[in-house]
Amino acid sequence: MISTISRNAFLLAAFAIICTGAVAIVNVLTKPVIELQEQKALLKTLNQLIPAESYDNDIFASCFTVKDDLLGKGQSQQVFIAKKEHLPVALMLETSSFRGYAGEIKLAIGIYENGQLAGVRVIRHTETPGLGDKIQTNKSDWIFSFNDKSYQQSQDHRWEVNKNGGDFDAFTGATITPRAVIFAVKNALIYFENNKYNLFKQQANCGEDQ
Amino acid sequence: MSDSIQQTATQDESKSEQAAVYKELAWQGLWKNNPGIVQLLGLCPLLAVTNTVTNALGLAIATLFVLVASNSLVSLIRAYVPQAIRIPVFVMIIASLVTCVQLLMNAFTYELYLSLGIFIPLIVTNCIIIGRAEAFASKNSVKHAAFDGLMMGLGFSAVLILLGASREILAQGTLFDGIETLLGDWAQDLTIILYHTDTTFLLAALPPGAFIIMGLIIALKNLIDQRVVKQ
């Protein structure tokens, strides 16, 4: 009886070690590739927002993290600074909105140093396919309507969907998603305006907390 | 002389027997006992990700791979695993296989991984996999188990792709939309646009449409089966 139990226990332990070992090996082998893929995907978004020829610094090395309620509650977000000849040109920051229809909408927002929007892209979202997913560039041109916009407090009412008197179109059947994106972009611009001088002076610190 | 003739005869017999086994396995997996539309196993991923052919194909390949590998491994170790602890061992094998597939997809098909998201780890809970491990692979030779996994996986894939294609056509009038996330940039031209719509047919794009079309596919299969019986 005892011998059966210990034999089974030994066998189970052996299988656990082999299985975990296999996963660990695959993890080690794929980790650099996954990181490279993530960087590539990020750089693709970055260069859509801030043209590669407008800056000359190593934009990945400039990455640092910030935390502010305007960029999504309790989330730390990455910021990338684009510089040309040591002068700040633009930055790209990530922001999250939970005001959409389902879950988080993660955005990448490019802002020139004068506060004008370079553009906005959706990094990921879980909005309803066919309705809310028009925020993706491959489904609709809607997200391009942010290009070159900037925020002034006196013009706050314009940061709304057009049926509420704002500048931006709503989708047929989906108002919640575009409003969530509009508010997230507006908040990001307010955050930028408040912290502009510190942001361009920040030391890079991405990867240090890992 | 006569001995050797007899030997070839028995060899031929066992060969044709073998062929019959494989034929039966293929018939079971692809049609008679199809995991998607007869056993109705793995409905969650089946209905959730089949909004486009690309997503369906991605999940189909991942499931197929896990199924063949888990069946082979389970069959390989069946002699060493006592009856009492077989289930935890199967679960460990399947869970580690799925984790490996997830990591590999994350590394090599990054965009597809993003769009399939949560459904890759959910392959673990797909009852087809543990079901085949327990019901077939743990009692049969490696060759048969791998073939059974292949056929069951292909049967499941066929249903996934059929469902994905009908939903994609109904919802957005395209086929193979976003296929480049699976096959690389060269595949961009494979996308077929059947008709243009400004608004998508939402019912087909959302899970209720998946249920309805699935029901129709099952009905069609039953209809064909009845016709065959009548003849």
How confident is the model over B11-40, as pLDDT tens digits?
666 777 788 888 888 888 888 888 888 888
Asked whether residue B26 is domain-assigned, the answer is: no
Q: Mind telling me how many Å the CA of A7 is from chain B's nearest CA?
A: 9
Asked whether residue B54 is domain-assigned, the answer is: yes
Q: Mind telling me how many Å the CA of A39 is from chain B's nearest CA?
A: 11
Domain count, chain B: 1
Ranking B64-68, B114-118, B129-133, B144-148 by mean pLDDT, the lowest is: B114-118
State the pLDDT at residue A191: 93
Give the Cα separation of B5 and B229 in Å (integer): 41
**A117-153, pLDDT tens digit by residue?**
999 999 888 887 767 888 888 778 899 999 988 888 8
State the pLDDT at residue B8: 53
Domain extent at residue B158: 40-230
**B174-187, pLDDT tens digit by residue?**
888 877 777 767 77
Residue A17 touches chain B, beta carbons under 8 Å: no
Residue B83 clears pLDDT 60, i.e. is over it: yes
Nearest by CB to A19, from B84, B92, B106: name it: B92
Residue B82 touches chain A, beta carbons under 8 Å: yes
Asked whether residue B133 is domain-assigned, the answer is: yes
Asked whether residue B32 is domain-assigned, the answer is: no
Give the Cα separation of B196 and B59 in Å (integer): 27
Asked whether residue B11 is domain-assigned, the answer is: no
Contact B89 A11 (CB under 8 A): yes
The listed range with the strongest mean pLDDT (A76-80, A184-188, B202-206) is: A184-188
Alpha helix (H) residue ranges in chain B: 2-27, 43-48, 53-76, 86-108, 110-116, 127-135, 142-172, 180-183, 202-205, 207-230
State the pLDDT at residue B118: 66
Q: Which of A109, A106, A54 is nearest to A82 (CA)?
A: A54
Backbone angles phi, psi at A81, to 5 degrees: -110, 130
Give the Cα separation of A98 and B37 in Å (integer): 37
| pLDDT classification of A65: cutoffs 50, 70, 90 | confident
Give the Cα separation of A58 and A120 in Å (integer): 21
Give the Cα separation of B116 and A101 in Å (integer): 19
Residues of B in contact with A34 (CB under 8 A): 103, 106-107, 110
Give the Cα separation of A137 and B63 in Å (integer): 30
Residues of B in contact with A12 (CB under 8 A): 85, 88-89
State the pLDDT at residue B100: 92
Does the ipTM exceed 0.90?
no
What share of chain B has pLDDT > 90, as a percent? 29
B90: nearest CA in chain A? A15
Residue A167 clears pLDDT 60, i.e. is over it: yes
Residue B80 touches chain A, beta carbons under 8 Å: yes
Contact A130 B108 (CB under 8 A): no
Nearest by CB to B104, from A11, A26, A41: name it: A26
Q: Mind telling me how many Å the CA of B178 is from chain A's nearest CA?
A: 9
pLDDT mean across residues, chain B: 84
